[in-house]
Amino acid sequence: MTDAAASVALEAPAWAPELRLLGRADYEPTFAAMKQITLERPVGGRDMLWICEHPPVFTQGIAGKQDHLLLPGDIPVVQTDRGGQVTYHGPGQVVAYPLIDLRRAGYFVKEYVYRIEESVLRTLAHFGVTGHRVAGAPGIYVRLDDPFSHAALTGPRPGDDPFRGLGKIAALGIKVSRHCTYHGVSLNVAMDLEPFSRINPCGYAGLRTVDLSTIGVPVTWDEAAQVLSQKLVAFLAP
């Protein structure tokens, strides 16, 4: 991570979490730390936003099914307590962990998820990419044939693949304990995407996974991390 990224300045937002830029951080100690902080968090404790990337790792959600792990090979698999199925984290992916008190924020989990997704949509828009939501499938998707098209998605007909023509560019998995959040969202920037072929991403067989580099957007990790941080601070504000 460059010095520029480490000195991200957020311009006097109404909500100012403690921003921690962790650089490349091993997944398991990061998971353990945010869980411990949440469990020990005092009432009124300051909200935080952690930004990092992880060495290669597969993570399983609390209800994750083993058969969605197709061929993990030499990449470790870590069982977590977040929602969702299996996903992959690796270099070239921006991972954001908001640790916030939803009671103080004044909104519930469904809106929290919406606000995180909106932050990703606005981050993609900053780089000229149109992201999309898919009903019932948390995360953000792009059109594989034209990721810059502003046309709205048309709902699939009964029996159609809801992901036809789409690639997943951001994955979401959260946990709420004592009304406080941890885990978060990952945005694919410039990765080795091969490990996604070793799993059914987020539990969907055959789901394509893409990154900004693959769809023709030459953005650095630092640039994407800075913009995503700013959007999360703006859209998660009470």
Residues identified as active-site: 202
109-126 and 221-235 helices cross at what angle (nearest 10)? 140
Are 116 and 99 in contact by the 8 Å Cβ rule? The answer is no
**Placement of tokens 């069982």 in the chain:** 79
Report the distance separating Cα 185 and Cα 213, nearest Å.
18
Comparing CA positions, the residue from 174, 173, 177, 175 lying closest to residue 38 is: 177
Comparing CA positions, the residue from 130, 44, 128, 58 lying closest to residue 89 is: 58
Q: What is the DSSP letter of 200?
A: -
**CA distance readout (Å), 195 to 89, 189, 218:** 9, 15, 21
Report the distance separating Cα 141 and Cα 168, nearest Å.
4
What is the rounded end-to-end Cα distance, in angstroms, of the chain? 30
Structure tokens at 18: 């403690």
Q: How many CA atoms lie within 13 A of 202 on its CB side?
A: 21
